[in-house]
Amino acid sequence: MQLTKELIPIPSSDYLIQSSDLTNCSPSVYNDAAALKKAIKTIEKNNKRIKGAPSLLTNRRINFEKIRTIWAAKVGTWLAIDFEAWDRDHSLLTEYGWSLVRWEGEGDNKREVTEDGHLIVKEYRGFHQTYVQENRDANHYNFGKSEDVDKFTFRQRIRDMIAKYREMGPLFLVFHDNNQDVKYLRSDAIKALSDFEYLLPDQPPESGVYVIDTGDLFAALEGEGSGNKRSLERACRHLQIPTEFLHNAGNDAHYTLAAMIAMASGDTLDVQRDKRWPNRTSSINTKVEFMPWEEDSDEDDLEAIMPGSRATMQISGEQVMPNPDGNEDLPEVEDDITEALQNGGLIPVHA
């Protein structure tokens, strides 16, 4: 309309969004204007998807990005832990497994250090599981040699491990569905953990003990807004992490850390989800829709017996069959078309 009478300083903090104004802030780099324009369009679509999402999903999404930010800083020790207990008396801990990543050095010279282990309590060797699968035997541990120890050495080794790594800086305890394992760490049988935080800081911390749950991480990635969480086997399956001999504490710890790293070292949540499972959400559905063969290994067996069964898809009540040359690709469905379908509309599909 006209020039201001007084000069206005540019830039001014009054007109800028600063990191302190945000719940979480992590950097993204775009090499050219076209990439930035595409990213802005994607962000706008994702914002529409999550508008009105349950608060639990919102909190999970925030936590996901915090973990990405802290992991990228290469600080502290990331220690995945798993216990196995006798299923007739959970006070009898039979196994302990761990898998960790930490860094040595400074700046660009930081070196990644890894470690895996598996302890078996001698006194409880004769206590076999009744209701859950048991893979306690040493030849079922995939990442080293299992150690048989007495229950007193078992407790002390765990205590010493927690104490050692929390003194070296921030300690991130990684679990898959943490409730029971945290109870074990705090129980009279172990007494290795007294103080810890579930709420992660916005920036990489210099000390403290923090609990990370890969069940919540995966729920954020797939867009699950309820209290439901995937099993470790199912989460690893969807993340393309092969597993073998689950319910061995050492193996479970290793796969838990692998799942955490797969998600924490990837792109931002929405970009990562769309790369892993393209065209699986819509403007009115934030949750990824997995196919039966992705959910259940038994479907893979069916595929071996009946090749091509995967290519049959269900769209708005109409079956879409693959074309004769076996090409299973389906046409890309944009958000507005997907929304029309879910409201009862139909679109033509060309085989």
Question: Which tens digits make up the pLDDT trace of 305-348?
Answer: 444 444 333 333 333 333 434 433 443 444 444 444 444 444 44
**Residue 238: pLDDT above 50?**
yes
Q: Provide the percentage of residues in the chain whose pLDDT is more than 90.
A: 51
DSSP string, 41-77: HHHHHHHHHHTT--HHHHHHHHHHHHHHHHHHTT-SE
CB 185 within 8 A of CB 98: no
Q: For 44-61, what is the mean pLDDT?
A: 74
pLDDT, the chain, mean: 82
The span from the CA of 67 to the CA of 55, in Å, is 18
Cis peptide before 11 (omega within 30 of 0): yes
Where are the extended beta strands (E) located within the chain?
77-86, 89-104, 111-121, 147-149, 171-175, 209-213, 313-315, 318-320
- Can you give the pLDDT at residue 20? 62
The pair of three-digit structure tokens given for residue 69, joined into one six-digit string: 């930010």
Q: Residue type for 95, please?
A: E
- Can you give the pLDDT at residue 26? 61
Q: For 205-224, what is the mean pLDDT?
A: 95
- Specify the higher pLDDT residue, 299 or 146: 146
Question: Which tens digits make up the pLDDT trace of 157-191?
Answer: 999 999 999 999 999 999 998 989 999 999 988 99
Provide the 3-class DSSP secondary structure of residue 99: strand
- pLDDT grade, residue 293 (50/70/90)? confident
- pLDDT grade, residue 51 (50/70/90)? low
Q: Residue type for 267, please?
A: D
Question: Which tens digits make up the pLDDT trace of 114-150?
Answer: 999 999 999 999 998 888 888 998 899 999 999 999 9
The verdict on domain 71-275 having CATH code 3.30.420.10 is yes
- Can you give the pLDDT at residue 45? 67
**Residue 208: pLDDT above 70?**
yes
- Can you give the pLDDT at residue 50? 60
**Residue 74: pLDDT above 50?**
yes
- pLDDT grade, residue 12 (50/70/90)? low
**Residue 219: pLDDT above 80?**
yes
- HSE-up (13 A, CA, CB side) for residue 116: 17
**Residue 211: pLDDT above 60?**
yes
**Residue 243: pLDDT above 70?**
yes
- Can you give the pLDDT at residue 30? 80
Question: Which tens digits make up the pLDDT trace of 245-287?
Answer: 999 999 999 999 999 999 999 999 999 999 999 988 876 777 8
111: Cβ–Cβ under 8 A, 6 or more apart, which residues? 103, 104, 105
Cα dihedral: 185, 191, 194, 196 (round 10) = -20
The span from the CA of 43 to the CA of 34, in Å, is 14
Domains in the chain: boundaries: 71-275, 292-342
